[in-house]
């Protein structure tokens, strides 16, 4: 291996000798990849096809000791560092240009203790990895809705999905975590150890260290849930959304219903004449007794004149993967997101008008239904503050042809601006693209000041900056 010029924290170049890199590599169980290695391109490729960055070093960690050594090496040489879990972050923070990527994808272990209903999960595990292990014991953790997402990034940003209203956010079920801090120390963060760090990693993202293991509380669920899609013609969109809003006013915690508005994909249960036409999809899940679920969903399923209703008992693992085909890796993606206290008539009008102007067949709007147990946690109890939002909108620009970049990005930005007067003002950091770093303080609201103080304590030099970054106090307002 030759001497290498690597990007440093000052956006300059640091020359690292071949001897230093070889000595570092010798301390690892995992491997180090450089641009000439056959596995390099695959290792730098992430979910969002718009991201094309070339790290100087990719350190594929086999365990916590590798992470400790990688963080120490980066700190000693003041290298720009990115941390890759599942690589799903929309902003592309899992990779950097010229610096070091700490790649956690080899660390996929999931160990379930069915007696205590807990699980230890390594940061390279995906939601699918987790679900397969936990459902073997009819246990579950509330996570997201795309099974290829990594558990690490999802958890650190908050984490919500089909069973959040019943069991809380992913972070509400985090019991402890092993964290490598910026000085290369491995610590346990929990309600009794490094309590400020434990508070910060529950929603504060990867700002405070690299998590090498998560300990989660699990819940009894499965193997089946009542779930599925009810698909309506877009001509009835405003009426459907208004009735949807009303039907959820007194929904039990077990019931969750999300909205998807887009052009219909060629689903086998849809008549072919609807393929490619705009539709409104009610995607619902009841995580409780199936008979009670039928009663709870009756109002939603009675709305309008649906094209198709395919709600029935499904394996929970299968339902967790239902949207994977629409969210497969490789496409170009640009998202914009708002939290809503309610879906006002004005907001509904703006959303439906945007669907009439879709720039591409894969572009869509998701409306996530949250609240329930997640909303009964005090905003100051975790770094994640937006506990009162009942809906989360994700404007999901998605396309394949780079020539469509501007049209799709402009569409998402226009909708975002139009909806802003009706939104709560907060944001889900996992949905924020790389050009929204100016929203970070607003996203955390009253919790931001405490996050800055904790960042200053654990990472005063901002080593962990490839994220929705909370800057140390000295850097606030800096470019």
What is the predicted pLDDT for the residue at 206?
Answer: 97
Q: Count of CB atoms within 10 A of residue 346's CB? A: 12
pLDDT band for position 399 (cuts 50, 70, 90) = very high
What is the predicted pLDDT for the residue at 87?
Answer: 95
Residues 167 and 139: beta-carbon distance below 8 Å: no
Domain for residue 91, yes or no?
A: yes
Residue 21 DSSP class? H
Domain for residue 469, yes or no?
A: no
For residues 215 and 228, state if they share a domain: no
* CB-count exposure of residue 369 (10 Å: 0-12, 13-18, 19+): buried
Residues 219 and 479: beta-carbon distance below 8 Å: no
Domain for residue 457, yes or no?
A: no
Residues 432 and 384: beta-carbon distance below 8 Å: no
Last residue of a domain, one of 190, 220, 250: 220
Reading the block at residue 300, the tokens are 């939603």
Last residue of a domain, one of 84, 103, 122: 103
* CB-count exposure of residue 195 (10 Å: 0-12, 13-18, 19+): exposed
For residues 203 and 244, state if they share a domain: no
Residues 150 and 87: beta-carbon distance below 8 Å: yes
- Statement: residue 478 has pLDDT above 60: no
| Residue range 411-437, pLDDT digits in tens | 999 999 999 999 998 889 999 999 998
| Residue range 182-212, pLDDT digits in tens | 999 999 999 999 999 999 999 999 999 999 9
Query: 309: which strand partners?
Result: 230
Quote the pTM value.
0.96
Reading the block at residue 31, the tokens are 């491997």
For residues 291 and 262, state if they share a domain: yes
- Statement: residue 477 has pLDDT above 60: no
Give the mean model confidence (pLDDT) for residues 19-40.
Answer: 97
Domain CATH number, residue 131? 3.30.465.10
What is the pLDDT of the chain when averaged over all its residues? 96
Last residue of a domain, one of 220, 252, 281: 220
Nearby residues of 303 by Cβ (< 8 Å), 6 or more positions away: 230, 232, 240, 243, 244, 247, 282
| Nearest CA-CA partner of 317 in 137, 173, 158 | 137
Write the CA distances from 368 to 47, 247, 340, 380, integer angstroms: 21, 15, 10, 22
* Parent domain of 53: 4-103
Residue 106: is the preceding peptide bond cis (ω within 30°)? no
For residues 234 and 285, state if they share a domain: yes
Cα distance between the two ends of the chain: 35
Domain for residue 282, yes or no?
A: yes
Reading the block at residue 46, the tokens are 């992430």
For residues 270 and 376, state if they share a domain: yes
Give the mean model confidence (pLDDT) for residues 204-222.
Answer: 97
For residues 99 and 121, state if they share a domain: no
Render 317-346 in DSSP notation, one character per residue. HHHHTTTGGGG-TTSEEEEEEEEESS--HH
Write the CA distances from 437 to 98, 131, 415, integer angstroms: 21, 32, 19
For residues 287 and 167, state if they share a domain: no
Domain for residue 458, yes or no?
A: no
Residue 264 DSSP class? P
User: What CA dihedral angle connects 104, 109, 112 and 117, to 10 degrees?
Assistant: 0
Domain for residue 393, yes or no?
A: yes
Element (H, E) at 315: strand 312-315
Element (H, E) at 22: helix 18-26
Reading the block at residue 26, the tokens are 């010798």
| Residue range 231-276, pLDDT digits in tens | 999 999 999 999 999 999 999 999 999 999 999 999 999 999 999 9
3-state secondary structure of 14: strand
For residues 122 and 93, state if they share a domain: no
Reading the block at residue 246, the tokens are 């009303």
Please state the domain count of the chain: 3
Domain CATH number, residue 8? 3.30.43.10
Judged by average pLDDT, the poorest of 278-287, 291-300, 424-433 is 424-433
For residues 278 and 152, state if they share a domain: no
What is the predicted pLDDT for the residue at 443?
Answer: 93
Domain for residue 450, yes or no?
A: no
Domain for residue 476, yes or no?
A: no
Give the mean model confidence (pLDDT) for residues 165-179.
Answer: 98
For residues 154 and 138, state if they share a domain: yes
What is the predicted pLDDT for the residue at 373?
Answer: 97
For residues 214 and 79, state if they share a domain: no
For residues 216 and 120, state if they share a domain: yes
- Statement: residue 476 has pLDDT above 90: no
């Amino acid at each position: 291996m030759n001497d290498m010029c690597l990007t440093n924290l000052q956006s300059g170049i640091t020359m690292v000798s071949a001897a230093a890199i070889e000595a570092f590599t010798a301390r690892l169980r995992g491997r180090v990849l450089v641009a000439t290695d056959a596995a390099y391109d695959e290792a730098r490729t992430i979910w969002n096809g718009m991201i094309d960055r070339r790290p100087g070093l990719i350190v594929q960690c086999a365990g916590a000791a590798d992470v400790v050594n990688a963080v120490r090496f980066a700190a000693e040489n003041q290298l720009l560092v990115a941390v890759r879990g599942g690589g799903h972050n929309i902003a592309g923070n899992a990779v950097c240009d010229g610096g070091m990527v700490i790649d956690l994808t080899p660390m996929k272990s999931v160990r379930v203790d069915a007696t205590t209903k807990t699980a230890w999960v390594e940061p390279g595990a995906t939601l699918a990895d987790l679900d397969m292990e936990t459902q073997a014991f009819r246990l579950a953790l509330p996570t997201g809705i795309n099974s290829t997402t990594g558990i690490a990034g999802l958890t650190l940003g908050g984490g919500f999905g089909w069973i959040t209203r019943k069991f809380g956010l992913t972070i509400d079920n985090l019991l402890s975590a092993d964290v490598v801090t910026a000085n290369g120390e491995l610590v346990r963060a929990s309600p009794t150890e490094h309590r400020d760090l434990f508070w910060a990693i529950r929603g504060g993202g990867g700002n405070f260290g690299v998590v090498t293991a998560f300990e989660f509380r699990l819940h009894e669920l499965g193997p089946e849930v009542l779930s599925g899609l009810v698909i309506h013609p877009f001509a009835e969109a405003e009426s459907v959304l208004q009735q949807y809003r009303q039907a959820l006013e007194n929904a039990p915690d077990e019931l969750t219903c999300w909205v998807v508005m887009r052009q219909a994909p060629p689903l086998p249960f849809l008549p072919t004449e609807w393929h490619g036409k705009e539709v409104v999809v009610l995607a619902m899940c009841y995580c409780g007794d199936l008979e009670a679920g039928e009663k709870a969903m009756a109002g939603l399923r009675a709305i309008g004149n649906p094209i198709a209703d395919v709600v029935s008992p499904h394996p929970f693992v299968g339902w967790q993967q239902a949207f994977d085909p629409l969210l497969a890796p490789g496409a170009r993606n640009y998202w914009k997101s708002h939290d809503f206290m309610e879906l006002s008539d004005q907001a509904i009008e703006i959303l439906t008008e945007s669907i009439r102007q879709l720039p591409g067949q894969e572009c869509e709007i998701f409306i996530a239904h949250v609240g329930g147990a997640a909303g009964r946690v005090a905003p100051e109890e975790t770094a994640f503050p937006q506990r009162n939002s009942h809906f989360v909108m994700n404007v999901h620009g998605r396309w394949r042809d780079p020539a469509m970049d501007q049209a799709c990005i402009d569409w998402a930005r226009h909708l975002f601006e139009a909806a802003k007067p009706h939104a709560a003002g907060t944001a889900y950091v996992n949905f924020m693209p790389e050009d929204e770093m100016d929203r970070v303080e607003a996203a955390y609201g009253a919790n931001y000041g405490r996050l800055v103080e904790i960042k200053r304590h654990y990472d005063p030099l901002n080593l962990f900056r490839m994220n929705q970054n909370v800057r140390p106090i000295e850097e606030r307002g800096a470019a």
